[in-house]
């Protein structure tokens, strides 16, 4: 009787599989992770551990084997006791127990059972078909904006012409003053044109800033889950939505009901929600306001389940 094969089957469906008189294999769900050193991405998975202090027969493994091999419950229990005796003798002789797709068991210097789990088998059914992968290193180039301020200096060389005359000529005097006035007007016009250019640049920057501010405002409105309503009576989205704190989602209602019973035993006002995607979500509780849901979520993540999250559904 290949007990390890049936243990492996049950680990996909249950969090604890106990071998009577020997110990229990436990599973814990961990989130997706990434190794920043080699850029290796890992999907969500179940991590298997072993506890030698849980030895009581809960009937799960024995019933499963009895159905699979068409034996009576008592026959299976008797064969399991014999197999466990062989396991213990093998460990006392400092040999290893190797369970296929599960892990390795051995005794340490203090005669305690040490378990080393295998990582190549993922017992999380929701991650079926997902494998780890290595992503190429992404080289991010920082774009540097070089702002070049070019200042054009226009040097006006004024040539001084000395007119040597023995007597004052009114026409020459008029030409001299006219030249001075022309140069002054040209400088004034040049300065005025520069002033106009600066004003236009300032106004352009102001318009761009206003446009950017308007775009950001529209983007912030678009990221909300509903648009700003016209009617003030429904301006608060909390009036139309319920906030559910989710413990877990299951594809089978049987597993969802089992999780529901566990939460109810802990004192939660739990329920099961059937979602449009076909999953059954088990929730700790339902709240009518975002503030209440956030406060309850923080408490649950701290004391109960760090993977809990809020599901927002429209009221029916």
Total-model pTM: 0.41
Asked whether residue 150 is assigned to any structural domain, the reply reads no
Question: pLDDT tens for residues 219-277?
Answer: 455 444 433 444 443 344 455 678 889 888 888 899 989 999 999 998 898 999 988 77
Please provide the DSSP assignment of 100-117 as one string: TTTEEEEE-TTS-EEEEE
Q: How far is CA 263 from CA 247, 269, 305, in A?
A: 9, 8, 11
Are 11 and 122 found together in one domain?
Answer: yes
pLDDT on residue 284: 93
CATH number at residue 269: 3.30.70.1070
Are 238 and 124 found together in one domain?
Answer: no
Beta carbons of 47 and 124 less than 8 angstroms apart: no
Asked whether residue 260 is assigned to any structural domain, the reply reads yes
Domain boundary among 106, 134, 162: 134
Beta carbons of 251 and 205 less than 8 angstroms apart: no
Q: How far is CA 51 from CA 81, 93, 184, in A?
A: 18, 21, 98
Domain boundary among 117, 134, 151: 134
pLDDT on residue 139: 65
Asked whether residue 20 is assigned to any structural domain, the reply reads yes
The stretches of the chain forming alpha helices (DSSP H) are: 3-11, 60-69, 73-92, 170-222, 253-265, 290-303
Q: What is the mean pLDDT of residues 162-182?
A: 49
Domain boundary among 104, 134, 164: 134
Number of structural domains found in the chain: 2
Tell me the two tokens of residue 123. 């017992």
Are 9 and 128 found together in one domain?
Answer: yes
Asked whether residue 108 is assigned to any structural domain, the reply reads yes
CA angle, 208 then 214 then 216, to 5°? 105
Q: Which domain holds residue 252?
A: 234-314
Count of CB atoms situated within 10 Å of the CB of 47: 14
pLDDT on residue 74: 92
C-alpha 197/C-alpha 234 separation (Å) is 50
Asked whether residue 176 is assigned to any structural domain, the reply reads no
Q: In 2-44, where do the E strands start and end? A: 16-19, 23-30, 33-35, 40-42
Tell me the two tokens of residue 281. 């979500």
C-alpha 128/C-alpha 118 separation (Å) is 17
Asked whether residue 119 is assigned to any structural domain, the reply reads yes
Tell me the two tokens of residue 164. 């040597």
Question: pLDDT tens for residues 129-141?
Answer: 556 556 666 666 6
DSSP element (H, E) containing 272: strand 271-274
C-alpha 281/C-alpha 301 separation (Å) is 17
C-alpha 307/C-alpha 281 separation (Å) is 13
Q: Which residue has the tokens 């020997």?
A: 22
Are 127 and 7 found together in one domain?
Answer: yes
Asked whether residue 300 is assigned to any structural domain, the reply reads yes
Asked whether residue 299 is assigned to any structural domain, the reply reads yes
């Amino acid at each position: 009787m290949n007990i390890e094969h049936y243990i492996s089957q049950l680990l996909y469906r249950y969090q604890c599989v106990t071998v009577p008189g020997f110990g229990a294999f436990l599973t814990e769900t961990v989130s997706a992770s990434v190794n920043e050193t080699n850029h290796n991405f890992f999907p969500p998975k179940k991590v298997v551990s072993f506890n030698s202090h849980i030895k009581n027969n809960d009937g799960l493994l024995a019933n499963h084997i009895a159905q699979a091999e068409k034996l009576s419950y008592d026959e299976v229990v008797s064969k399991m006791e014999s197999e466990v005796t062989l396991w213990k003798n093998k460990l006392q002789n400092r040999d290893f127990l190797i369970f296929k797709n599960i892990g390795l068991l051995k005794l340490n210097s203090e005669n305690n059972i040490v378990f080393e789990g295998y990582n190549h088998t993922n017992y999380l059914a929701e991650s079926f078909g997902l494998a780890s992968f290595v992503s190429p290193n992404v080289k991010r180039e920082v774009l540097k904006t070089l702002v070049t301020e070019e200042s054009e200096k226009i040097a006006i060389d004024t040539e001084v012409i000395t007119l040597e005359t023995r007597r004052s000529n009114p026409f020459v005097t008029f030409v001299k003053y006219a030249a001075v006035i022309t140069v002054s007007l040209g400088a004034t016009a040049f300065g005025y044109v520069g002033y106009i250019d600066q004003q236009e640049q300032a106004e352009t920057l102001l318009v761009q800033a206003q446009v950017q501010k308007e775009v950001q405002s529209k983007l912030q409105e678009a990221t909300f889950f509903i648009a700003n309503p016209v009617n003030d009576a429904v301006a608060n989205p909390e009036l139309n939505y319920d906030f559910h704190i989710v413990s877990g989602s299951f594809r089978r209602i049987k597993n969802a009901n089992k999780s529901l019973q566990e939460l109810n035993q802990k004192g939660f006002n739990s329920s099961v929600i059937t979602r449009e995607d076909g999953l059954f979500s088990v929730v700790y509780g339902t709240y009518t306001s975002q503030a209440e849901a956030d406060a309850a979520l923080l408490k649950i993540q701290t004391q109960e389940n760090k993977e809990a999250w809020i599901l927002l559904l429209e009221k029916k």
